[in-house]
Amino acid sequence: MARRYDPERRRRILDAAIRVVGRDGIAGLSHRTVAAEADVPLGSTTYHFATLEELMVAALRQANEGFGRRLAERLPAGGQGDLAAELAAELGAWLGGERSGVELEYELYLAALRRPALRPVAAEWTEDAAELLARRTDPVTARALLALMDGICLQVLLTGGSYDEEYARTALARLIP
């Protein structure tokens, strides 16, 4: 039987992995669950991603691209304006959307604590985000802003509370010289 040409299969498998983690958490991720979610043969998942770590690395990288792209659009090089207000608004937009996507990103990001293969991707995202923020402030302040933004997001996600944009703007502004 001839192989069916399917150039989008890898992407469908990756999208399925992200849906599985979003629905069932990291613990629910397996080649079998991803194959079922993507509606592909089990062998396809292992062909494209030999290990679960490879699959998680690719999923984390894809998840990170979304927020990174939004941040890059919000903070163009040479931009002017109230950085704290812009960041607070972006956090509001991110947290005000579908929270399962935000939860998924943090679950994959925090999985790096136990899975060393994910650490370089988590560090890569941190470096990229800090570089974007450093377009508008110094590198030390950029990292502090990033840490505060992560803290605010985690508090909202973990407590199930609502996001307070004015609080975030005030807290972020305190870090900006």
Note the pLDDT tens digit of each residue in 63-87: 777 777 888 888 877 778 899 999 9
Q: Among 12-21, 94-103, 132-141, 150-159, name the one with the lowest average pLDDT.
A: 94-103
pLDDT at 1 exceeding the cut of 50: no
Confidence label for 3 from pLDDT (cuts 50, 70 and 90): low
* CATH number for the segment(s) 1-50: 1.10.10.60
Tell me: domain 64-175, CATH 1.10.357.10, correct?
yes
- Domains of the chain, by residue range, sit at 1-50, 64-175
CB atoms within 10 A of CB 10: 17
Distance CA 41, CA 76 (A): 43
CB atoms within 10 A of CB 75: 20
- By CB atoms closer than 10 A (0-12, 13-18, 19+), residue 72 is middle
Distance CA 141, CA 82 (A): 15
- The percent of residues in the chain predicted with pLDDT above 70, rounded, is 97
Q: Which residue type occupies 56? A: M
**What pLDDT sits at residue 99?**
75
Note the pLDDT tens digit of each residue in 97-129: 777 778 888 888 888 888 898 899 889 989 999
pLDDT at 4 exceeding the cut of 70: no
Whether the Cβ atoms of residue 130 and residue 143 lie closer than 8 Å to each other: yes
Distance CA 10, CA 44 (A): 8
Note the pLDDT tens digit of each residue in 46-64: 999 999 999 989 988 887 7
